[in-house]
Structure 1
Amino acid sequence: MYKRSSFETSQIISNYYSVLEKITAVSERIGRDPHTINLVVVTKTYDQESILPLLDIGHKNFGENRVQEAGDKWSRLFTSYPDTKLHLIGHLQTNKTKIALQIFDSIHTVDSVKLINEVQKHISHEKTKTKEFFLEINLGNEPQKDGIIVNDLKEIMLKFKNGVFFNCDGYMCIPPYNEEPALYFALLKKIALDYNINKLSMGMSADYTKAIEFGATHVRVGSEIFGKRV
């Protein structure tokens, strides 16, 4: 089910520090504090042995795409590394909302009114640990992608203002493939300013430094650390 990174432990650690150095360099160049950038290391499909080197050097924030995989993989790791923060960065099916809220500290992919209502139903459960929620915005209006289209955002933000029992903490986007990502990073930043949203989850291995230039607070990096998935 899971795979081992093709890189040796020393290479994984070297790659990780290289990413941190790039985050620091771009942040300082544009006058941002690099400590305000959260590196979410994407560990989807990788086994525990690939992840352990980063846990052992103290990294805290990790991203997974699937609820079941995250639960299976991290249940024992949480015991040894209780300060780990797990981020859901893949689509969340409504029938898995309750268990997702018990596994993840942050959900980056709240993508519909239906899912908002489902989170609302379970948010007060005693086992819920999720404290941070991002709305996923489909900036390119791509029918094959999940996410809230911009034209629907105003109504949804009013829903949060008038009675939803959890906060919209940030926005997340994935720019259309093979298009200039900076255009979409700039658009998400503008939308966030319009709604007084301070957290932006945008940028992956190919474009996270550009995302930081446009205000990303959370970047999701996997392949630059572990190698390409095959």
Structure 2
Amino acid sequence: MTTEARRHQLQDNLNRTREAIAAACADAGRAPESVRLIAVTKTFPAADAAALYGIGQLDLGENRDQEAAPKAAELAAQSLEPVWHFVGQLQRNKVASVAGYADWVHSVDRGRLVDALARARKTGPRGGLNVLLQVSLDGDTSRGGTPIGELEPLAEQVAGSDSLRLRGVMAVAPLGWEPAKAFALLNECSEAVRRVDPAAAEVSAGMSGDFREAIACGATMVRLGRNVLGEREAMA
């Protein structure tokens, strides 16, 4: 597919996605600008990320540093500056790399990761890093996320850092759960974090199959890939 044809395809997909978000907001009695679209570009080339930026989609998401870091560097070399959101599970050996390009990290879920991010960001040139706390809604932390009972102490740890900015919460609906149940519980978790910092009101929830339910339950960010970029090839 030619670059121009792909750009038109991305524009059409983006328009449809924004219309779907606006419709979900209308159903929930919310303004469409209250929900921020994160276009997740994982497994797609840097050319697609650059094209999205060029048509006005400034928030881009990635979930693996080994793919995200070179993609971010390639766009930076073109003087393109999207807002990069790291949305995948983050290992401490990748912290220094992620802290170098990410504007937001959605998956902070343990104290040692907070400490590592704070140190890495403090020594970099980019200022404070926006942090969302990933919550394990069902308590199974093997898929990432902090248990609900440990959320407020973790929030206090982030809030006490001078190089991190506590912004809110993130979750993925557990397997087998009704999305509405999951995101209603996440909204309660958001209230707990806002007791630590009232400004930490962002709620990152909802992917391609459940973003409408997430918006109905108060999500302020939705993480969509397939809707905008099309079907992905299987990852190696």
Give TM-score, length-normalised by structure 1.
Answer: 0.89
Q: Residue 42 of structure 2: which of 41, 44, 52 is its match?
A: 44
Amino acid at match of 2:181: L
Taking the aligned partners of 1:143 and 1:194, their CA distance within structure 2 comes to 19
Which residue of 2 is the match for residue 26 of structure 1? 24
Task: Give the count of matched residue pairs.
Answer: 225
Give the C-alpha shift of residue 28 in structure 1. Answer: 2.6
Call closer, same or farther: CA 1:158–1:58 in 2, change over 3 Å: closer
Which residue of 2 is the match for residue 228 of structure 1? 231
Amino acid at match of 2:210: D
Taking the aligned partners of 1:143 and 1:93, their CA distance within structure 2 comes to 14
Q: What are the residue-to-residue correspondences of 1:96-107 with 2, within 5 Å?
A: 96-107=94-105
CA contact (8 A) 2:121 2:129 kept: no
Q: Residue 109 of structure 1: which of 107, 110, 115 is its match?
A: 107
Taking the aligned partners of 2:152 and 2:90, their CA distance within structure 1 comes to 22
State whether structure 2 residue 218 is matched by structure 1 residue 215: yes
Call closer, same or farther: CA 1:158–1:77 in 2, change over 3 Å: closer
State whether structure 2 residue 120 is matched by structure 1 residue 122: yes
Which residue of 2 is the match for residue 95 of structure 1? 93
SS in 2 for 1:151: helix
CA contact (8 A) 1:104 1:129 kept: no
Which residue of 2 is the match for residue 198 of structure 1? 201
Give the C-alpha shift of residue 8 in structure 1. Answer: 4.3
Which residue of 1 is the match for residue 143 of structure 2? 145
Call closer, same or farther: CA 1:104–1:150 in 2, change over 3 Å: same
Structure 2: stretches of 5+ with no match in the other structure: 195-199
Give the C-alpha shift of residue 183 in structure 1. Answer: 0.6
User: What's the C-alpha RMSD, in Å, of the aligned pairs?
Assistant: 2.2
Give the C-alpha shift of residue 10 in structure 1. Answer: 2.9
Taking the aligned partners of 1:141 and 1:57, their CA distance within structure 2 comes to 40
Which residue of 1 is the match for residue 82 of structure 2? 84
Q: Which has the larger displacement, 83-92 or 28-37?
A: 28-37
Structure 1: stretches of 5+ with no match in the other structure: none
